[in-house]
């Protein structure tokens, strides 16, 4: 028998031994002067930019996009930081949980390296409440590696290691038992443990809960989430709880990020009496779905006796089966007479493969997925008769299948309830985790259906009696579609009883007594009493209970209606006069600025029925994004529009819908997409924009459009127009706005190829005065995200500048922003790499055939690289960017003798550049 994993304390493979992981390699600065002809001062400036451009920092930030790394217990006011040994960015957990207290370990052990890892020195403990939950925003349908770290360190001076449960949403994950010396865990050490699971969230929110089960206090040191490729670690049901992940080499090094881009933790396990190590320095192709780090795949173990099999055995309680992933690569240069071939056996009887040969210098993964019980698991590699070499294996991962039978509460109900909660500013310490399940943790004030675990529970009762509610009855209540009982009694609610209550057909009891409601009861609600509705409204002194109230109110309305035409006529004349005088006054003050028609356009509110007519029953699709589907429409038979309809499963939802409407109702600029109207009717949320017939910039740069490639002049003009729109958001709006999602897909082109910036759902207002940033959760698109914003959660206008710099690099190169097959995956890092190696020719998009002014192209490239500086202090502002691009365009036009494309009607013809004393006006 070869290796045996009994998961005993003291074995090297399961004791966490953090070596002194090396810091990232120093940046290499190329000497461009040896390769380039320096024609102007711009080249010297560019050299300086390359010299300060921190390629590794940018690469790390981009590779960590989607990562969540929480230092639990870290005070909210402390800045995010880079953990030195791993280059991972950690931030405080305070924004993701509403309970708990901060603690700090009391043990300082120079030999126990885990005690000196910065994220593990602090912790969050939960002396109050039974269930305390982290609420994280994730990508629905994406596989995540979720890791929880627990290091006790006698933080409470009690010397009593705790026992508690860990839940994933409403389902049990594991018991954390630090008193058990035989505890289960991916890695454990004397005073703590690390738990890991691979899980695919079914919604955009994920709850991770610590549940008190005895007298000891739950705590957590760090919480880490890492997105994985969707075609790796797949399961038919449930999730995968990590049992071990080991490479087979004679080393005690633990490998993780940055060597492993997915930040998997790799132990080493070796049986020196039975195995020998082989290794190589030759580069190995690791581009399969599992993307193993070179430090793991470059080593392998073989039996010491070439005539025997390689085997390993472990014991684990796994009633729902195990998943094992065997990672192979042939890392020896074989002669023509050499053959390595073996059979892969599972539990001594199941043949996984009977003549397997690892591919030469290429990683390959063989999965074993079983749904049967495996108390004692045996893996054996048996050499075939035709093989001249013994079997070899590089690494193995073993997981226990963990079924998660309980469905989460219906997502629409959760969203509706949280909106109600926000409306009334309600917060209860027990309102954490899933509102409905497990049933013994159901939130107070609710009752839910939860008879079948596989069916998402629904909220059927809402009891906010004596909750101190103020204001009107929240409209969000109508989105609790299965609500049967509503009790808002004995609060301070004012206003009228809303009509929407009558449309909630399942309601059987409505108790509104003991409030300050006024007006009359809607007749439709009174009619529902005939169908069994119990309506309780006593104790509202200003509420008219007499049926005649309705007719009196209608008579009053009729009288008011007689005044409307008279007042409207007078008012209309006044409004028209005021608008005309305003236009004349503004045009007089700004002869060089052109007003965009949307300044005086009427933003209409449409019904959903009207939207159906406009889109001809949603006949023609223009595209699809995170918000939903965009349809082509015709307004009044002669105006083409784009109609964006919110999907019920949208990751954006009502908050972003409202943000976009609010912004577009008050900002007006020729280079921002104009909002024609919107629909906010029940669950139907729709935005109607002006139609942009030439699609988006990304389609033209990627070759998706059949039209000829964009000329350098058109590319510069599109960049300059986009910069002006963004400049307007930054300094022309009051308050200033940060877009937060600048990317080539959001730069739209009209029939004259004029650029207009769109998609404002993530936009945020920017502080004025002494404040320098907005502290907010990270949002944006992979590849375009500012690494400094990602690292610190501090959003500034320079975050938009970084994203714009990435777009400008796209415009120059027509390269994808992230391409794993390039020498450097991120476009900023790739351009920097090419420049430091003097490879200039292959940066510029070859489809332009050299038809460009070299001075303007160099200047644009310098500008782009300064925009993507990892430090915001090294980036220009958008006014500087807009001015630089105008100069580039003028230089290109001069080369062509002032000629412009026939279809190029640029806003640059209408606008002068902005000096430091100017701010852009509404155009």
Residue 186: predicted pLDDT: 76
- For the domain made up of 697-898, give the CATH fold: Transferase(Phosphotransferase); domain 1 (1.10.510)
- Map 866-913 to HEC letters: HHCCCCHHHCCCHHHHHHHHHHHHHHHHHHCCCCCCCCCCCHHHCCCC
Instruction: Read off the pLDDT of residues 294-317 as tens digits, 9 standing for 90 and up.
Output: 999 999 999 999 889 999 999 888
Q: 789-812 burial string, b = 16+ CB within 10 Å, else e?
A: bbbbbbbbbbbbbbbbbbbbbbbb
Instruction: Read off the pLDDT of residues 839-897 as tens digits, 9 standing for 90 and up.
Output: 777 899 999 988 888 889 989 999 999 999 988 888 999 999 999 999 999 888 887 66
Between the CA of residue 673 and those of 385, 545, 676, 759, 766, what are the distances in Å? 70, 50, 10, 8, 20
Say whether 720 sits in a helix, a strand or coil: helix
Q: Scanning the structure block, which residue is given the tokens 């269930």?
A: 131
Q: Scanning the structure block, which residue is given the tokens 């940018």?
A: 58
Residue 766: predicted pLDDT: 64
Question: How high does pLDDT run on average in the chain?
Answer: 81
Res. 59 pLDDT band, cuts 50 70 90: low
Instruction: Read off the pLDDT of residues 202-257 as tens digits, 9 standing for 90 and up.
Output: 888 899 999 999 999 999 999 999 999 888 999 888 999 999 999 998 887 889 99
In this model, does residue 601 exceed pLDDT 50? no
* Cβ contacts of 531 within 8 Å, gap of 6 or more: none
* DSSP 8-state code for residue 728: I
Q: Which CATH superfamily is domain 601-690 in?
A: Phosphorylase Kinase; domain 1 (3.30.200.20)
Q: Measured between alpha carbons, how far is 319 from 315 in angstroms, rounded to an integer? A: 12
**Is-contact 749 695, C-beta < 8 A?**
yes
Annotated binding site for ATP: which residue ranges? 644
Q: Scanning the structure block, which residue is given the tokens 């399940």?
A: 437
Say whether 106 sits in a helix, a strand or coil: coil
Pairing of strands 764-765, 131-137: unpaired
In this model, does residue 587 exceed pLDDT 50? no
Q: 31 or 127, which is more confident?
A: 127
Q: Measured between alpha carbons, how far is 276 from 267 in angstroms, rounded to an integer? A: 17
Instruction: Read off the pLDDT of residues 316-344 as tens digits, 9 standing for 90 and up.
Output: 888 889 999 999 999 999 999 999 999 99
Once rounded to an integer, what is the mean pLDDT over residues 648-655? 56
Pairing of strands 144-151, 222-227: antiparallel
Parse the chain into domains and list their residue ranges. 67-228, 244-402, 411-549, 569-593, 601-690, 697-898
Residue 617: predicted pLDDT: 84
Percent of the chain with pLDDT over 70: 80
Residue 427: predicted pLDDT: 86
In this model, does residue 923 exceed pLDDT 70? no
Looking from the CA of 552 toward its CB, the CA atoms found within 13 Å total: 9
* DSSP 8-state code for residue 319: T
Pairing of strands 222-227, 219-220: unpaired
Taking phi over 0 as left and psi of -120 to 50 as alpha, with beta for the rest, 408 belongs to beta
> Selecting from 3.80.10.10, 3.40.50.620, 3.30.70.260, 3.50.50.60, what CATH number does the domain 411-549 have?
3.80.10.10
Whether the model clears a pTM of 0.85, i.e. scores above it, the answer is no
Residue 280: predicted pLDDT: 96
Instruction: Read off the pLDDT of residues 280-291 as tens digits, 9 standing for 90 and up.
Output: 999 999 988 899
Once rounded to an integer, what is the mean pLDDT over residues 639-646? 88
Looking from the CA of 484 toward its CB, the CA atoms found within 13 Å total: 9
Percent of the chain with pLDDT over 90: 51
Residue 768: predicted pLDDT: 54
* DSSP 8-state code for residue 65: T
Say whether 634 sits in a helix, a strand or coil: strand
Residue 653: predicted pLDDT: 59
Once rounded to an integer, what is the mean pLDDT over residues 793-800? 86
Instruction: Read off the pLDDT of residues 757-783 as tens digits, 9 standing for 90 and up.
Output: 988 777 777 655 444 445 555 667 888
Please state at what angle helix 854-867 crosses helix 827-836, rounded to 10 degrees: 120
- In 3D, which of 864, 875, 878 has the Cα closest to residue 832? 864
Q: 548 or 201, which is more confident?
A: 201
Once rounded to an integer, what is the mean pLDDT over residues 795-802? 91
Domain 244-402 - what CATH class?
A: mainly beta
Q: Which CATH superfamily is domain 67-228 in?
A: Galactose-binding lectin (2.60.120.430)
Q: Scanning the structure block, which residue is given the tokens 């397997």?
A: 356
Q: 63 or 279, which is more confident?
A: 279
* Greatest mean pLDDT range, 48-57, 149-158, 573-582, 908-917: 149-158
Q: 568 or 355, which is more confident?
A: 355
In this model, does residue 589 exceed pLDDT 70? no
Indicate if 741 belongs to the active site.
Answer: yes
Number of helices (H), then strands (E), belonging to the chain: the values are: 16, 48
Residue 184: predicted pLDDT: 66
* Cβ contacts of 639 within 8 Å, gap of 6 or more: 676, 691
In this model, does residue 710 exceed pLDDT 70? yes
What number of other Cβ atoms are within 10 A of residue 313's Cβ?
Answer: 17
Once rounded to an integer, what is the mean pLDDT over residues 383-404? 96
- In 3D, which of 320, 319, 371 has the Cα closest to residue 350? 371
**Is-contact 740 762, C-beta < 8 A?**
yes
Residue 482: predicted pLDDT: 95
Marked catalytic residue, from 71, 364, 741, 759: 741
- In 3D, which of 894, 775, 707 has the Cα closest to residue 78? 775
Beta-bridge partners for 494: 516
Residue 60: predicted pLDDT: 64
In this model, does residue 135 exceed pLDDT 60? yes
Annotated binding site: which residue ranges? 644
Residue 681: predicted pLDDT: 80
Residue 58: predicted pLDDT: 54
What is the signed CA dihedral for 731, 733, 737, 743, rounded to 10 degrees?
-80
**Is-contact 237 195, C-beta < 8 A?**
no
Q: 19 or 898, which is more confident?
A: 898
Res. 62 pLDDT band, cuts 50 70 90: low
Residue 599: predicted pLDDT: 31
| Fold agreement between 244-402 and 411-549 | no
**Is-contact 500 478, C-beta < 8 A?**
yes
Backbone angles phi, psi at 242, to 5 degrees: -65, 135
List the Cα angle 516/517/520 in 5-degree steps. Answer: 145
Residue 583: predicted pLDDT: 43
In this model, does residue 787 exceed pLDDT 90? no
Structure tokens at 787: 């690494």
Residue 217: predicted pLDDT: 98
Of the ranges 62-66, 162-166, 504-508, 632-636, which one carries the lowest mean pLDDT score? 62-66
In this model, does residue 46 exceed pLDDT 80? no
Beta-bridge partners for 136: 206
**Is-contact 478 504, C-beta < 8 A?**
yes
Instruction: Read off the pLDDT of residues 717-730 as tens digits, 9 standing for 90 and up.
Output: 999 999 999 998 89
Instruction: Read off the pLDDT of residues 170-194 as tens digits, 9 standing for 90 and up.
Output: 999 999 999 987 666 777 778 899 9
Q: 220 or 52, which is more confident?
A: 220
Q: 923 or 835, which is more confident?
A: 835
Quick one: the chain helix, strand, coil %, rounded to 5?
Answer: 25, 25, 45
In this model, does residue 922 exceed pLDDT 50? no
Instruction: Read off the pLDDT of residues 99-115 as tens digits, 9 standing for 90 and up.
Output: 999 999 998 666 677 77
Q: Measured between alpha carbons, how far is 85 from 19 in angstroms, rounded to an integer? A: 9
């Amino acid at each position: 028998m070869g290796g045996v994993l009994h998961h005993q304390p003291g074995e090297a493979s399961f004791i966490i031994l953090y070596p002194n992981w090396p810091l990232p390699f120093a940046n290499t600065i190329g000497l461009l002067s040896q390769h380039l002809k320096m024609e102007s001062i711009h080249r010297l400036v560019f050299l300086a930019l390359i010299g300060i451009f921190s390629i590794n920092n940018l690469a790390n930030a981009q590779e960590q996009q989607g990562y969540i790394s929480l230092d639990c217990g870290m005070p909210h006011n402390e800045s995010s930081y880079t953990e030195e040994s791993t280059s991972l960015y950690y931030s405080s957990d305070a924004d993701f949980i509403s309970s708990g207290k901060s603690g700090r370990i009391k043990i300082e052990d120079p030999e126990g390296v885990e005690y000196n890892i910065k994220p593990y020195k602090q912790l969050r403990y939960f002396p109050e409440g039974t269930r305390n939950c982290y609420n994280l925003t994730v990508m629905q349908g994406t596989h995540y590696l979720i890791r929880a770290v627990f290091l006790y360190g006698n933080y409470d001076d009690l010397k009593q290691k705790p026992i508690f449960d860990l839940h994933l949403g409403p389902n049990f994950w594991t018991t954390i038992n630090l008193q058990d010396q035989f505890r289960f865990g991916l890695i454990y050490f004397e005073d703590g443990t690390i738990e890991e699971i691979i899980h695919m969230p079914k919604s955009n929110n994920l709850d991770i809960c610590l549940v008190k089960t005895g007298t000891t206090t739950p705590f957590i040191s760090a919480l880490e989430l890492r997105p994985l490729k969707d075609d790796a670690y797949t399961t038919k049901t449930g999730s995968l709880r990590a049992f071990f992940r080991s490479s087979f080499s004679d080393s005690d090094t633990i490998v993780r990020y940055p060597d492993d881009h997915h930040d998997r933790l790799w132990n080493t396990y070796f049986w020196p009496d039975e195995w020998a190590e082989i290794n190589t320095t030759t580069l190995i192709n690791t581009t399969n779905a599992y993307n193993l780090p070179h430090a793991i795949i470059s080593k392998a173990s073989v039996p010491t006796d070439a005539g025997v099999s390689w085997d390993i055995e472990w014991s684990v309680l796994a009633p729902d089966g195990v998943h094992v992933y065997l990672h192979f690569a042939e890392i020896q240069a074989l002669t023509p007479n050499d053959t390595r071939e073996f059979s892969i056996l599972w539990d001594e009887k199941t043949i996984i493969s009977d003549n397997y040969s690892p591919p030469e210098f290429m990683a390959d993964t063989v999965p074993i997925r079983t749904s049967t019980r495996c108390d004692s698991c045996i893996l054996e590699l048996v050499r075939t008769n035709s093989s001249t070499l013994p079997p070899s294996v590089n690494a193995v991962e073993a997981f226990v299948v963990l079924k998660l039978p309980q469905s989460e509460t219906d997502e629409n109900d959760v969203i509706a309830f949280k909106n109600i909660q926000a409306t009334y500013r309600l917060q209860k310490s027990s309102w954490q985790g899933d509102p409905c399940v497990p049933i013994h943790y159901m939130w107070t004030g609710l009752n839910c259906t939860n008879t079948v675990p596989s069916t998402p529970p629904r909220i059927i009762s809402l009891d906010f009696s004596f909750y101190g509610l103020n204001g009107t009855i929240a409209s969000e209540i109508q989105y609790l579609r299965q609500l049967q009982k509503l009790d808002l009694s004995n609060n301070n609610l004012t206003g009228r009883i809303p009509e929407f209550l009558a449309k909630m057909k399942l309601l059987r009891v409505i108790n509104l007594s003991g409030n300050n409601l006024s007006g009359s009861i809607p007749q439709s609600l009174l009619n529902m009493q005939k169908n069994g509705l119990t309506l309780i409204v006593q104790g509202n002194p200003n509420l008219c209970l007499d049926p005649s109230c309705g007719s009196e109110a209608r008579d009053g309305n009729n009288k008011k209606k007689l005044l409307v035409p008279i007042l409207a006529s007078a008012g209309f004349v006044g409004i028209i006069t005021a608008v005309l005088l305003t236009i004349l006054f503004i045009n007089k003050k700004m002869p060089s600025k052109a007003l965009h028609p949307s300044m005086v356009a009427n933003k209409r509110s449409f019904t959903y029925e009207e939207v159906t007519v406009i889109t001809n029953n949603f006949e023609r699709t223009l595209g699809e994004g995170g918000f939903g589907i965009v349809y082509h429409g015709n307004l009044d038979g002669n105006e083409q529009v784009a109609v964006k309809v919110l999907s019920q499963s949208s990751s954006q939802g009502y908050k972003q819908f409202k943000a976009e409407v609010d912004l577009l109702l008050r900002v007006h600029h020729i280079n921002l997409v104009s909002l024609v109207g919107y629909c906010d009717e029940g669950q139907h949320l729709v935005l109607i924009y002006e139609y942009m017939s030439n699609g988006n910039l990304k389609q033209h740069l990627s070759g998706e459009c059949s039209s000829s490639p964009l000329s350098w002049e058109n590319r510069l003009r599109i960049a300059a127009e986009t910069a002006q729109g963004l400049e307007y958001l930054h300094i022309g709006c009051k308050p200033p706005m940060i877009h937060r999602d600048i990317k080539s897909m959001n730069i739209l082109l009209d029939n004259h190829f004029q650029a207009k910036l769109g998609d404002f759902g993530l936009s945020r207002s920017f502080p004025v005065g002494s404040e320098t940033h907005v502290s907010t959760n990270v949002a944006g698109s992979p590849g375009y995200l500012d690494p400094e914003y990602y690292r610190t959660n501090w959003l500034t206008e320079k975050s938009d500048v970084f994203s714009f710099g990435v777009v400008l690099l796209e415009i120059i190169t027509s390269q994808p922003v992230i391409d794993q097959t390039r020498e450097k995956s991120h476009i900023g890092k790739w351009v920097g790499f090419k420049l430091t190696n003097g490879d200039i020719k292959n940066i510029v998009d070859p489809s332009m055939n050299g038809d460009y002014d070299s001075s303007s192209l160099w200047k644009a490239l310098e500008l782009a690289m300064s925009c993507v500086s990892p430090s915001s202090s090294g980036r220009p502002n958008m006014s500087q960017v807009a001015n630089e691009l105008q100069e580039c365009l003028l230089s290109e036009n001069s080369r062509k003798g002032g000629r412009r494309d026939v279809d190029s009607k640029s806003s640059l013809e209408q606008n002068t550049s902005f000096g430091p004393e100017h701010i852009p006006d509404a155009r």
